[in-house]
């Protein structure tokens, strides 16, 4: 599984924080599209959409290649999954901590120490 560095996580979450960019990703999860395709439902100039796309591409949420005058854009699901996993670990840690607490309240000994 792809592991994202801290700066990469900055960029991925930043990229995901914009609704137009999320709409572009959602569109791409349905299949490849040109920049104009991505722009069509969005209420902004093509130049703006291109800038949004570059943000997504710089952090590897998407990739693209240009043939003729058409740039074809695709989702890059590895990065999406790596991001999902980061959140998963956060929840897992939380649940592990709740388990330890529950065990403590039950009077059951915990063998996983390391409380701080």
Q: Tell me which residues touch DNA (CB under 7 A).
A: 14, 17-18, 20, 34-36, 39, 43-48, 50-53, 55, 66-71
The minimum distance between CB 106 and DNA, in angstroms, equals: 29
Write 27-30 long-range contacts (CB < 8 A, 24+). 28/62, 28/73, 28/74, 28/75, 29/75
Asked whether position 95 contacts its own copies by CB under 8 A, the answer is yes
Given 44, 46, 48, 87, the residue binding its own copies (CB under 8 A) = 87
CB 9, min distance to DNA, A: 13
Q: Which residues of 68-79 are buried (b: 16+ CB within 10 A; e: fewer)?
A: eeebebebbeeb
């Amino acid at each position: 599984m792809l592991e994202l560095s801290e700066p990469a996580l900055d960029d991925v979450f930043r990229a995901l924080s914009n609704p137009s960019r999320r709409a572009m990703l959602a569109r791409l999860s349905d299949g490849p599209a040109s920049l104009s395709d991505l722009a069509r439902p969005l209420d902004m100039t093509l130049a703006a959409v291109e800038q949004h796309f570059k943000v997504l591409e710089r952090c590897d949420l998407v990739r693209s290649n240009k043939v003729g005058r058409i740039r074809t854009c695709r989702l890059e699901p590895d990065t999406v999954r790596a991001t999902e996993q980061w959140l998963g670990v956060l929840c897992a840690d939380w649940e592990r901590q709740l388990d330890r607490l529950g065990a403590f309240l039950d009077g059951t000994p915990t063998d996983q120490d390391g409380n701080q």
